[in-house]
Amino acid sequence: MGRLVYFSEVPKDRETSAMFAELAMPLFDQLYNFAHWLTQDRSEADDLVQETYSKALRGFSSFQPGTNFRAWIYRILRNTFLTSRTGLKATSVQVELDEAAESIAEAETPESIFIDQSQQQLLQKAIEALPLHYREVVLLCDVEEMPYKEIAETLSIPIGTVMSRLARARRDLRQALQVKLVRR
Amino acid sequence: MGDSFSMKIETYLDGELSAQEMQAMDAHLRGCASCSADAMAQLHMKRAVKLTGTRYSPSPELRAKVQRGITQEKPVFWQRWLSVPVFALLLIGLGLYVSQTAGSRNRIYSELTDLHVATLASANPVDVISTDRHTVKPWFQGKIPFTFNLPELNGSDFTLIGGRVAYLGQSPGAQLIYQIRKHQISVFIFQDKNLPGKLQLTSGKQLSFSTESWNSNGLSYFVIGDTSGDDIRRLGELLKSAAQS
């Protein structure tokens, strides 16, 4: 990314800025966390978040009051990332399965799974290693706790695709973790 | 394990089943050890992802930068050329002017309060003793360089006690003493041009005295007493009406 973003380029009045800040700033930590997971680099995450806020403020007039602001600004962040160098590189990795043909992955047959501290590090690496389309959906669902509908809106995909990607992402995580099965 | 249930465990844990399906799943999990263990495992995983996934925090600098970017207005023309030192000098000048003006005003209010208190403490608070405005007003002729009207008090609960010449900033003015119930009120009238500052149109408190001040026809009026603010305002209204007549 590396492009400096000048907010002063953004035409705005005091009322618009205040309204935007009221909606956008409470999401700052979450958006940053998500940006970091997408870029996997602190400096790029910084740039991505700044550019997202700048674009969102510039396009705030297109936001319909009463609709989902979180989905709106996450979509801006994601689209900004996808058009960045890192984002383009990430999306060039093919999603292995044809999503239309994807079915919800069969659940494994664990009696119980226990994830301890040492496995958290493995889990972090496993999330980082997920292809972008799976990584983002599992983060939006499990970290941001977005409902399927909001994820679909954010990623501009059907709810069915959200579900199939989620199932696939979780299956990959389980496999990568080599989850220990502990019978309770 | 019922296949139809096991396939829905993930959606169930995400809270995305319909209310009816959620109830059915709850009931099934209570009776199916296999699905129950599976659900527990997936729940652990979900929580672990949440825990692991919430790990990156923005720096305070980044937050401040973005916050500034949102709230800063686009600079207008005069802001662009106005350098910081010039702006600082202007601010200092403005601050000095405001503080000097406020200081002068406060000095006037303090002196008038002192005059009021001193008058009440005096054995001879007034030089002309009369409840008749047509006696009190002419008494000031030749003693002060201006004239004024006094209100007709019939029908009101105020009584004119008398008057005296008062000095403020070495300029003479009128001090009238009124009474309401057992409270004595001073009304000061001075020429605007002789005052070291300008009285504001205001109601307020000065050392717990109720006060009211205003300017009219080149004269400054200041009413002060230990009665209620409402009494002071009513007397002020009577004086304002008289001044207009």
Report CA dihedral (A23, A29, A35, A36) to the nearest 10 degrees. 180
* CB burial string A128-153: b at 16+ within 10 A, e below: eebbbbbbbbbbbbbbbebbbebbbb
* Residue B179, burial from CB neighbour count under 10 angstroms (0-12, 13-18, 19+): middle
Looking at the fold, whether B225 and B111 belong to one and the same domain comes out as: yes
Looking at the fold, whether B113 and B212 belong to one and the same domain comes out as: yes
- Of B52, B71, B88, at which residue does a domain stop? B52
Looking at the fold, whether B228 and B136 belong to one and the same domain comes out as: yes
Q: How many domains are contained in chain A?
A: 2
- Of A66, A91, A116, at which residue does a domain stop? A91
Q: Determine, yes or no, domain membership for A1.
A: no
Looking at the fold, whether A103 and A85 belong to one and the same domain comes out as: no
Looking at the fold, whether A55 and A107 belong to one and the same domain comes out as: no
Q: Determine, yes or no, domain membership for A140.
A: yes
**Nearest CA of chain B to the CA of A54: how many Å?**
8
- DSSP letter assigned to residue A143: I
Q: Determine, yes or no, domain membership for A163.
A: yes
Q: pLDDT value at position A112?
A: 38
Task: Determine what percent of chain B is predicted with pLDDT higher than 90.
Answer: 21
Residue whose entry in the numeric block shows the structure tokens 């394990």: B1
Identify the CATH number of the domain in which residue A38 sits. Answer: 1.10.1740.10
Q: Which residues of A touch B51 (CB under 8 A)?
A: 120
- Of B52, B68, B86, at which residue does a domain stop? B52
Whether residue A178 lies within 8 A of chain B, CB to CB, comes out as no
Q: Determine, yes or no, domain membership for B33.
A: yes
A10 contacts B69? CB cut-off 8 A: yes
**Nearest CA of chain B to the CA of A93: how many Å?**
22
B7 contacts A104? CB cut-off 8 A: yes
Q: How many domains are contained in chain B?
A: 2
Identify the CATH number of the domain in which residue B186 sits. Answer: 3.30.200.100
Looking at the fold, whether B157 and B235 belong to one and the same domain comes out as: yes
Whether residue A7 lies within 8 A of chain B, CB to CB, comes out as yes
Looking at the fold, whether A68 and A86 belong to one and the same domain comes out as: yes
Q: Determine, yes or no, domain membership for A132.
A: yes
Q: Determine, yes or no, domain membership for B227.
A: yes
Residue A11 has its nearest CB partner, among B9, B44, B74, at: B74
Residue type, A109: T
Range of the structural domain that residue A146 is part of:
99-177
Q: From first to last of its 184 residues, what are the pLDDT tens digits of chain A?
A: 444 444 555 555 778 888 899 999 999 999 999 999 999 999 999 999 999 999 999 899 888 888 899 999 999 999 999 988 777 777 765 454 444 444 433 344 443 345 566 677 888 999 999 999 999 999 999 999 999 999 999 999 999 999 999 999 999 998 888 654 343 3
Q: Which residues of B touch A29 (CB under 8 A)?
A: 57-58
- A16 — phi, psi (to 5°)? -60, -45
Looking at the fold, whether A120 and A171 belong to one and the same domain comes out as: yes
Q: What ipTM was assigned to the predicted interfaces of this complex?
A: 0.79
Q: Which residues of A touch B25 (CB under 8 A)?
A: none
How confident is residue B207, by pLDDT bands cut at 50, 70 and 90? low
A127 contacts B73? CB cut-off 8 A: no
Q: Determine, yes or no, domain membership for B60.
A: no
Looking at the fold, whether A79 and A127 belong to one and the same domain comes out as: no
Q: Which residues of A touch B18 (CB under 8 A)?
A: none
Among chain B residues, CA nearest to A7: B69
Looking at the fold, whether B33 and B123 belong to one and the same domain comes out as: no
Looking at the fold, whether A119 and A153 belong to one and the same domain comes out as: yes
Looking at the fold, whether A170 and A136 belong to one and the same domain comes out as: yes
Whether residue B10 lies within 8 A of chain A, CB to CB, comes out as yes
Q: Determine, yes or no, domain membership for A150.
A: yes
Q: Which residues of A touch B71 (CB under 8 A)?
A: 17-18, 21
Here the tokens at position A97 are: 């399965």
- Of A52, A74, A91, at which residue does a domain stop? A91
Range of the structural domain that residue B18 is part of:
3-52
A24 contacts B49? CB cut-off 8 A: no
Looking at the fold, whether A114 and A147 belong to one and the same domain comes out as: yes
Residue whose entry in the numeric block shows the structure tokens 């119930």: B181
A174 contacts B10? CB cut-off 8 A: no
Looking at the fold, whether A12 and A83 belong to one and the same domain comes out as: yes
Whether residue A129 lies within 8 A of chain B, CB to CB, comes out as no
Q: A interface mutation test: which of B36, B42, B66 has the most A CBs within 10 A?
A: B66
> How far is the C-alpha of A71 from the C-alpha of A109, rounded, in Å?
35
Whether residue B71 lies within 8 A of chain A, CB to CB, comes out as yes
Q: Determine, yes or no, domain membership for B64.
A: no
**pLDDT tens figures, B103-146:** 666 777 778 888 888 887 777 788 888 888 888 888 988 888 88
Looking at the fold, whether A87 and A107 belong to one and the same domain comes out as: no
Identify the CATH number of the domain in which residue A124 sits. Answer: 1.10.10.10
**Nearest CA of chain B to the CA of A59: how many Å?**
13
A127 contacts B53? CB cut-off 8 A: yes
Q: Determine, yes or no, domain membership for B82.
A: no
- Of A40, A69, A91, at which residue does a domain stop? A91
> How far is the C-alpha of B51 from the C-alpha of B223, rounded, in Å?
70
Looking at the fold, whether B134 and B213 belong to one and the same domain comes out as: yes
**Closest by Cα among A147, A133, A166 to A70:** A147
Among chain B residues, CA nearest to A58: B70
**Lowest-confidence segment of A4-8, B34-38, B200-204 by average pLDDT:** A4-8
Whether residue A15 lies within 8 A of chain B, CB to CB, comes out as no
Q: Determine, yes or no, domain membership for A183.
A: no
How confident is residue B206, by pLDDT bands cut at 50, 70 and 90? low
Looking at the fold, whether B114 and B215 belong to one and the same domain comes out as: yes
